[in-house]
Structure 1
Amino acid sequence: MSLIGVVAVLVVALVAAGIVLLFDRNSANERDARRGQFDQVARQTVLNLTTIKPDTAKEDVDRILAGASGEFKSEFDGRQDPFVSVVKEAGVTTVGKIIESGVQSEDGDTARVLVAARADVSTPDNSQNGPRDFRMRVTVTDADGTMTASKVEFVP
């Protein structure tokens, strides 16, 4: 084989390798972006769950339900009004903060995300004030481009 033939084969091989690497990088970027979306939905769900105030309890519960689906939504269905009444009557305020989160696993249109959160609790008589730490596993489901929390579990 002549020198020109060897150079031509090397050029074709390098171009092919460059194309493969470019597609691989794009695929990794898309995967990372999707995982970031799953993570963000889980973080917002936990923040919504840990931030409830007596004067906005109805809106707080509506916000939780707006991002819920499946088993998680079923747990709230029909229980919103009693929950709101208890929050208003007790006068307890909780303000959540996300400490850390990360995607535990992903399977097609579903991801399980671990979220560590802290809720600062305030009671009218100050008897139970203080931080409460939570670890939750949030299952996030993507249904036709809309991501919602379909299951929330406390993790010991």
Structure 2
Amino acid sequence: MNTQRTPEPAVPAAKPSRTWLKPAVAAAAAVVLLTVAAGVAFLSYSNHQTDEREATRQEYIQVARQAVLNLTTIDPETVKEDVDRILADATGEFQAEFDGRIEPFVSIVREAKVATHGEIIAAGLESESDDGGVVLVAAKSMVTNAGSDEPQPRNFRLRVSVTDVDGRLATSKVEFVP
């Protein structure tokens, strides 16, 4: 008999169970995905808010530009309609000041045959608040009247306050800037 033993093949040591690994990776991936989704949602909302604010600022500028253009473009044949156009977009202090001077203004423009043709050179937002904005406007106007043969240039720098009145933007104040 053979007393020698044949060596038995070595049994590999049992590997530790990694059943926890797949759920842990899935959970980590879910956390990363949720974090990325939340970041994208926040950035999208923030971008939308910025776009809305910029659109509102541009509206303030456009209303101020139009108000100054209306003020600097007057014709003796259509002066009453020109004044109505100015007042249609006016409110507050500006409306009160202009409203009290309509008849003398119309009379002077007609009698002196004053015609002005305005042009906006530049406009920019100076400040804004919850209910409006203040816009600086540079404009020029070519003025003719019964006493002059050649159009006379006039340059203006104006500070125009634009106010939200029940969802409608209107000119509430116009002042000359030296």
- For normalisation by structure 2, the TM-score amounts to 0.83
- Counterpart code for 1:142: D
In structure 2, C-alpha distance between the alignment counterparts of 1:139 and 1:72, rounded to whole Å: 9
Q: Which has the higher contact order (CA 8 A, sep 6+)?
A: 1
Q: As a proportion of its length, which structure holds more strand?
A: 1
2:130 to 99, 108, 122: 108
In structure 1, C-alpha distance between the alignment counterparts of 2:97 and 2:141, rounded to whole Å: 21
In structure 2, C-alpha distance between the alignment counterparts of 1:97 and 1:115, rounded to whole Å: 11
What is the RMSD computed on CA atoms of the aligned residues?
A: 1.4
- Counterpart code for 2:50: A
1:9 corresponds in structure 2 to 31
2:47 corresponds in structure 1 to 25
Worse overlay, 57-66 or 43-52: 57-66
SS of the counterpart of 2:78? helix
1:77 corresponds in structure 2 to 99
List gaps (5 residues or longer) in structure 2: 1-20
Q: As a proportion of its length, which structure holds more helix?
A: 1
Deviation at 1:5, TM superposition (A): 2.6
2:141 to 101, 119, 125: 119
List gaps (5 residues or longer) in structure 1: none
Q: Identity of counterpart residues, as a percentage?
A: 51
In structure 2, C-alpha distance between the alignment counterparts of 1:26 and 1:85, rounded to whole Å: 50
- For normalisation by structure 1, the TM-score amounts to 0.94
Alignment of 1:24-43 (within 5 A): 24-43=46-65
- Per-residue CA deviations over 1:38-95 (Å, capped at 9, x if unaligned) read 1111011000100011111111111111111000011012310111001111112110
Equivalent residue pairs, number = 156
1:53 corresponds in structure 2 to 75
In structure 2, C-alpha distance between the alignment counterparts of 1:50 and 1:26, rounded to whole Å: 36
Would you identify which runs of 4 or more consecutive aligned residues in structure 1 move more than 2 Å?
1-6, 123-130
Worse overlay, 24-33 or 124-133: 124-133
- Counterpart code for 1:24: S
Q: Is 1:132 matched up with 2:154? A: yes
